[in-house]
Structure formats: structure tokens, C-alpha cells
Structure 1
């Protein structure tokens, strides 16, 4: 690629993207974007102000009128070009993910693959904005039901898979005909924000339809959610913040879509293939350092095979290379920041104080947190009840399937899960008893496909995303009746 052009792209990524223009935020507050592995500064942003947020929403609202006039086939072509842009720039995007997230090279390619699938799925949406004709009791009346965009969508993305989880809302919302304002997490303003703006700008999206504001909550408060323009707020993050976002959104008559935390259980029955189960359980816990909402922090194993499973699990976890995410052999890179490290270390210490027994105690070196495995835990312990957003797992023996179900369901979360058994029918039957939005038989708890419903139960979220469910999330239905006769009224 041309070095001058690359430099221009890098500079633009360090600015706000409002109304189709790359510009500096209007506050003096500086957000410093740091590499979580070595602490070096990647970029500095002047935070967006409340006025900047207002201008971004107004730009999205205004650009919708032009987007409405664009044919579905022309809209689809925008997403096809976005796919090509990501494919052409994959090596560069991999580097950005490694530097800003501390994601490994393996994780970066995995995330980019998810992005490409989502862009391809969103590209079908313009041709799925259907009109239905429904029958009426009145012989002269025709009922038409139109699927229409909600208008403008506000998107708040997290730090763990920011490219994918930003695109997961942004692309379907745009494809359904909406304007969008995206606020990425303050730890990932490029991958979760300005990179996405760059992709769609290069793909030919009309100026102003997508806007990205880089800022911190202390600077803007609730202005992003309270603003009168957006009709839907899509939030991905912790359940504590999600609760507040939902309260503010509903109070202002906006629809919240929430993808929140998890505390997933992976259940291993006595007849399971232990090699497959161990590999799935390790992948389910330690992918991206355990910073995945679907991660299996609770691994429930039948007592008959518990000792053998635990031995294999600990050995495999201990063998995972931890270190510089730029090293292609690294499996576990750094946690996103020191605050997350301190929180996780505190959760481990509290678990031990409550009676947990250590099978593997990984060292903590800066933001590197080596795999840690606990056992001797009971359902009421904090390490079993709280989301452990890092490479810490709890191994729990059980005697009966009913006991496994009870333990798995003893959580305020309900996002993902897995069941391992050689009896597939039994696996499905057991899976249906777990109160969770998604669960997989003989597989990992970490899975996302662009065409199937993704979302959680209980405090793991509200609503579903992907495929038809994303189309429902970002559209509304309008009933128009046409009377072809001469209506009669009682007075």
C-alpha cells in the first residue's frame, strides 16, 4: 500500500467522524489510547462533547433522506465493497487489533472472519425490507404491512471484540435504512470506532449516515442515550452498565437492545469424549484471555471422570503460551488494562478466602494474567456467581444430571453454554433445561453465526441479534389499510 495514503489513514483514525468529516473533538479532555501489552501510546483523541454528539445524531438524521432514495441493489453494493475493503486490508487490521486490544494473531483473524460474515449477511437486508398483504374481515379493505427503518440507531460497543461487535449492530442498522452514531469503548476507539467509519467511507456510504464519536462518559454523561433523535440504543457490555443504559433508554421511549455479560457452564457427562470435551472447555475459557462474554468459566464434570478431566484440563491450560500478542505462538496476550487485572486478581483472592482450592495458580506479570484453575467451589461462592472476565476457570464435580442442571442455572446470567455427551438426544434434552439464550452440544460455548439468533436470558441481555432478528431489531412495522369500497359508519 502507498505509505503516504497509509499515513493519512492512520491520522484520520485518530479523529472524530461526524457528518462525513474527520475532525478533532471539541473538548480539551484528551483520551489516550494505549497498547495494553507494553503501555505505549497508540493515539490521542480530543474527546467529543455533548455538542459533538448532538451534531452526529443530527447528521445521521439528515442523511437518511438521501439513503431512503437509494435502490436496494445499490445499497447492497455498499456492503459488498465493505467486504472487499476488509479483505484487502486484513494484514493491516490484524496489526491494529494486536496493538490496541492485545489480541493474538489467531484472535485477530477470527474476529475479522466474523466481521466479513456479518457484512455479507447485512448486505441482504436491503432486499428483505418487504411489504406484506394481510386479509381483512371487511371485503373492501386491503391491509398492507410495511417494514420500515426505525430512523437513527445509537450503538455503544465494548473492548473485547470491538470490530465485530461494532459491525454487528452498525452494518444491519445501516442496511435496514437507518442512520447510525457509534460510540466505541474508550480502550478501543480505533478498532471499535474509526476503523469501522473508514471501512464504510471507502465503501461509498453517503456522508453523515454513519458517525463515530470518541469520548468518555464523564465528559458527556447520559447524552448519548438521552438524545431525542435515536429510536434504538444497541449496547454491548457489562450488566451493570447495561441496566443503566436500559433505564435511561426506556425512560426516553427508546428501544434498548442489550448484549451483556455471561457466566456460562460447560457440562461434561460421564460418557463424553474427554479429549474433545477438554479441548472445547479450554478453548471456551481461554480464548482472548477469557475476555469473551460467552466464555465457560464454570466447567461442570461428572464425578466418574472428574479427576481425569481435571488433570488433562490443567495440563492443557498450563501449556498455553502467554506473552507478546505479536508473537504468532502466543495464545494468551494481555488483559485490556490494569484495572481489569486488579479486579480479576481480587476475585481469585476472594474465591480462595471463601474456600476454593487452587489447581493451577497462574502468575500475574503486568497485564499478563496466566491461566488459573480453581476447584472445591460451591454455587454460592463469588467466583461461581460473578462474571470472571479473564483466564480463570472453576471446575465443579456433579453426581446427577439434575444436579448439573441446578448448578448451571444457579446464576443471574444466561448467555451461552455447552453439553458434552456421546448421546446426542440426551445432550439436546439436557441443553433445553438450561436457562440460557444459546447452548451447544459437543462444542464450545463460544459461537456466533450471522444467520442464527444471538442473545441471552435473565441479566445477559434483552433481544436477539443476527439474521431476521437484527432486521426486527432495527426496523418497525407500519400498517396501512386501503378501503376500495365505500365505508359505512354508525353515525
Structure 2
């Protein structure tokens, strides 16, 4: 185990010679593929490091190693697992500034976004310590004088984890930490664009913490190289995935065919509803943050702003003025709010959405611009909710504003989407707000706040095409463990034949 000063002094330099390898069975292992992948800074496209990709054969071997390691790890005590988790937290604490810097350079997130992401990841890690005891709890269920019933929780086994590019550290940790806390082993594949933030840093933390070899494995590779091997391996008991609904459907089909559990957080089209009695100034404050944090590249981001016609003009005027004032550019500048999109494909997609909206007659109330790899805010008003612009998960700093003739119509518009992840309502009537919140078809609704909220102790997840399963304590405990009934016959039983 390395000491604190050794880890801290070498962290960033290791991106080029250690962290750019897969972490398999406790060894930093170079990929066997002939293909390499350049991990770049989204702001200036400078190469951070190159990675030789792991092959499908290496992934298969990794699952075998993880399966063997889990058999021992699953028998450890809660105290042993807690000690490892606490030590991993120490790694993130002492390396905080360098990890934030890496998040900025690799994800294109601002210093604010990267700080929030690290904070959330540590919250999930800390919360996982609280439910490490679940495996040692035995629930007794009422029986008879002759028979007693005990309900146990057992580790599932090997969990397959796949995380996205937008919040890679946080969205990886919320699967990895509870899996390890509950006695499982993990084979994890981060999005290769953010391999360090989404995988290598976590592996480094658990290596520092003394996690036994093979319990956490991080494979640096991509889908063209390994196909469905993360999904179909015989040892995989649960597939944890955060990403698009299209990929989620593919995973769900394979998982169903192979009788594997899934925890899927998929796409979103989150509505932000401003009712006629809302505090418009505060609604604008919330909408600016909830639309433009991380350039709109968040599944929970506000995707449609639905405003009652009585406050529509007032809201638009104030929203545009605020959007104009947002600083943009280099995310390493602490004053920057709008940084780069993750890659050229995402930029081209965003620009195509805007051009199509113009062709279909939408009003571009604030015309943004492309400056290098940064898109400045666009505001498009008088949007038809049935239009492609309103029905697409944009993942860009494009605000779409829809007018509702009444509060009731605003709810109808909010529900008119295939997605159902997060949502918000602004109103002065909190009791009515709670009533309306239950009418919105989404896994989460926030009254007088924006849509981007997360915490380790809430049931995080969506409805409809936005996913299956719930993260957060205690809901994730049910997802990541097997329930076993043990009955005890205390008196010889007489059988009818």
C-alpha cells in the first residue's frame, strides 16, 4: 500500500504511465488490442494520454478473476469492508485538488461542476459504509411453535458496471461503492473518453485502501473492441448502466434473455414547470442553473421549460438576460460557467438541432455561437412540444421554452414524452405543488427547485424510458443483494405420506 505523500505527488503524472492501463486483479495491465485510444481535453483537444484497449478476451478473463475474488470478499465482516471504504475516502480527501483538476481537463467540466461531482462521489462512498452491516442482519419472521423463519441478505456476486462521460466519477461510484460494501465484486467499464475520471482514479483509491485483488477491476476499452461481453458473461449477476435509452433497451433485452438483473438510469427530457403563481425571479435563477450546468450534458438537466402564459413574457425576458451574462471558455478558469462539449459529434448534433428548429419556424430568442469547442447559450421560444426539438434529449446549452395556456395544460405537456426521469414545479402554493408533483410521470419531482438533484439516501431513478431500478440507501441494498429464506423445523414434522 502506498503512503499519502507518494500518492499525492505522483497522481497527475501517472495518467501517462500507470493510470492509462486497465486495473485487473490488482495489477495495472496494458490492453492487448492493436488499437489505442487518445484521451483528450475537450476544451483544446490536447492529448492527455493514450490507452491500449483491453480485448474481449481480457474482459472474459477479468470476470473469471472477479468471480473467484468475490467468493472470499463476500465472506468478510462488515468491519473489514467498512475499513476499506473509509481508507478509499481518505484517498479522495487528500487528493481532492488534483482530482478536481483532472476532472476539469478530462471531462471539460468547470471547476464548480468538478467540485460538485467529487463531493457527490464521496457522499456515495460515505453512505455505502452505513449499509455494509446489511449482510450480518437476520430478520426473523413470525412462524409457528414448530418452525421459525430467518431472512438473510447475501451478496449477488459479480456486478457489471458501465458509466457515461458526463459525471463519470460520481456515476461510477454510486454503483461501485455499494457493490463493494455489500460483498460483491465489480468489473467496471468507464466511457473511454473519461477513462481516468470514470475508472482509473477509483481503482487507484481502492488500491490505496488495500481492497483485495480482483474485487474491483476496471477495463479500459470500447464497444467496437469488446461487443456485448460486459453484458453476457455468465458470471454477471447484475448490469449497472447509465446512458442512453436506446442502449438501455439493448441491455434490457440481453439481460432478460439471460435472466440477469439490471439497474438502468437512461435518458431524460426533464420538464421545468412555472405555474401562474410562481416567484418568477427565483424560477429564473433555478432554471439558469438547471439548464446550463455542465453545458446541459446531464441526464437530469432541464430539457423543456414550460411556462404558464400569464408569466411567460416576464420569464423569457429575465431568462434571456441571465443567459447572456453567463461566462464561457476555458473550464480551468474559476469564473467559467459554460465550458466545452465533450466531443465534435456532440457539437455537430447540437448545431443540427438548432438548424432544424429554425427551419420549422421556432423563434431563436437568443442566438448563441460556437467558439472553438464551446457553444454559448441558445434560447428558443414558442416551441411546440411535439417538435423534434422538444422531444429530443439535447445534451447541450440549448434552452427550449414552451407556453402553456393553463397550469393544467402545463402538467399535460410535461407528461407528453417517452421519458420520466426528473421534473420541477415552481409555485407559491406548496400544498398544490405537492398534489401536482404526484401527477407528473417521472421518478423525481422537485418543488421550487431545478431538476438536477442527487443524494445517496434517496430513491434515485426514473419511469417510462428513463430506466429501471433505484439507486440510493436503502433501495440499492435490495438491488445489489440476494434475499434468502432459511426455515428451521424445531419439532419433528409429521407428513401425510
TM-score band (shorter)?
Answer: over 0.9
1:472 Cα deviation from its structure 2 partner: 1.0
Summarize the alignment of residues 93-172 of structure 1 with structure 2, pairs less than 5 Å apart. Answer: 93-129=99-135, 130-136=137-143, 138-172=144-178
Where do residues 307-318 of structure 1 align in structure 2 (5 Å cutoff)? 307-318=313-324
Tell me if 1:490 matches 2:496: yes
Please give the residue correspondences for 1:71-86 in structure 2 after superposition, counting only pairs within 5 Å: 71-86=77-92
C-alpha contact (below 8 Å) 1:186/1:214 kept by paired residues: yes
Paired residue for 2:43? 37
Give, in whole Å, the separation in 2 of the partners of 1:352 and 1:383: 10
In the alignment, the residues of structure 2 paired with residue 242 and residue 75 of structure 1 have an alpha-carbon distance, to the nearest angstrom, of: 31
Q: Is the 1:334–1:368 Cα contact (8 Å) retained in structure 2?
A: yes
**What is the distance in 2 between the residues matched to 1:70 and 1:458?**
38
Asked if 2 retains the 8 angstrom alpha-carbon contact of 1:144 and 1:481, the reply is yes
Aligned match for 1:332, one of 332, 338, 341: 338
d(CA) in 2 for partners of 1:355, 1:62: 60
1:250 matched to 2:256: yes
Quote the Cα distance in structure 2 between the aligned partners of 1:400 and 1:139: 62
Aligned-pair CA distance for 1:355: 2.1
Distance 2:471 2:11 in 1: 34
The equivalent residue for 2:365 is 359
Q: Distance in 2 between matches of 1:68 and 1:412?
A: 39
Q: Hey, what does 2:381 align to over in structure 1?
A: 375
Q: CA deviation at 1:126?
A: 1.4
CA contact (8 A) 2:12 2:102 kept: no
Q: In the alignment, is residue 463 of structure 1 matched against residue 463 of structure 2?
A: no
- Give the structure-2-normalised TM-score: 0.97
| CA deviation profile, 1:187-221 (whole Å, cap 9, x unmatched) | 11110011110111111111110000011101111
C-alpha separation between the residues in 1 aligned to 2:423 and 2:74? 41
**Residue 185 of structure 1 pairs with residue 191 of structure 2:** yes
CA positional deviation for 1:7: 6.4
Describe the SS at the equivalent of 1:307: helix
C-alpha contact 2:276 2:407 (8 A) present in aligned 1: no
Q: How does 1:365-404 map to 2 (within 5 A)?
A: 365-404=371-410
SS at match of 2:420: coil
Counterpart of 1:299 in structure 2 is 305
- For 2:68 and 2:313, locate their aligned partners in 1 and report how far apart those are by CA, in whole Å: 63
| Separation (CA, whole Å) in 2 of partners of 1:47 and 1:331 | 33
Look up the SS of the partner of 2:161 in the other structure: strand
8 Å CA contact 2:12, 2:98 repeated in 1: no
Tell me, in whole angstroms, the C-alpha distance in 2 between the residues paired with 1:4 and 1:259. Answer: 36
Counterpart in the other structure of 2:438: 432
1:69 and 2:88 matched: no
Check whether the contact 2:160–2:187 (CA below 8 A) recurs between aligned residues. Answer: yes
Q: CA deviation at 1:27?
A: 1.0
Matched, 1:264 2:270: yes
Q: 1:150 to 1:69 in 2, by over 3 A?
A: closer
- Distance in 2 separating the partners of 1:123 and 1:14: 29
- Deviation digits for residues 331-379 of structure 1 (CA, Å, limit 9, x no counterpart): 0100000001111111111122222111111101232111111112112
> Aligned pair 1:284/2:290, yes or no?
yes
Count of residues in correspondence between the two structures: 490
Cα distance between partner residues in 2 of 1:183 and 1:279: 36
- Asked if 2 retains the 8 angstrom alpha-carbon contact of 1:18 and 1:55, the reply is no
Counterpart Cα distance in 2 of 1:39 and 1:481: 61
Q: In 2 relative to 1, CA 268–183 (structure 1 residues): closer, same or farther, beyond 3 Å?
A: same
Query: TM-score with structure 1 length normalisation?
Result: 0.98
SS of corresponding position for 1:359: strand
1:15 maps to: 21
| Contact 1:105–1:325 (Cα < 8 Å) also in 2 | yes
Taking the aligned partners of 1:273 and 1:402, their CA distance within structure 2 comes to: 18
**Could you tell me how far apart the structure 1 residues matched to 2:403 and 2:252 are?**
37
Aligned to 2:485: 479
Give the Cα–Cα distance (whole angstroms) in 2 for the partners of residues 6 and 281 of structure 1.
37
- Cα 1:119–1:7, aligned 2, differ >3 Å: closer, same or farther? closer
Cα distance in 2 for partners of 1:5, 1:420 equals 47
Q: Secondary structure at the match of 2:299?
A: coil
Residue of structure 2 in register with 1:450 after alignment:
456
Q: Of 183, 191, 200, which aligns to 1:194?
A: 200
Summarize deviations over 1:373-413 as a string: whole Å, max 9, x none: 11121121001111111111111121212100110000000
44, 47, 50: which one aligns with 2:56: 50
CA contact (8 A) 1:17 1:23 kept: yes
Structure 1 residue 22 displacement after superposition: 0.3
Is the partner of 1:123 in helix, strand or coil?
helix
Call closer, same or farther: CA 1:218–1:249 in 2, change over 3 Å.
same
Please, which runs of 5 or more residues in structure 2 have no aligned partner?
none
Q: After superposing the two structures, state which structure 1 stretch, 127-136 or 309-318, moved more.
A: 127-136
Structure 1 residue 8: Cα displacement? 6.5
**Are 1:418 and 2:418 matched, yes or no?**
no
Query: How far apart in 1 are the matches of 2:31 and 2:278?
Result: 55
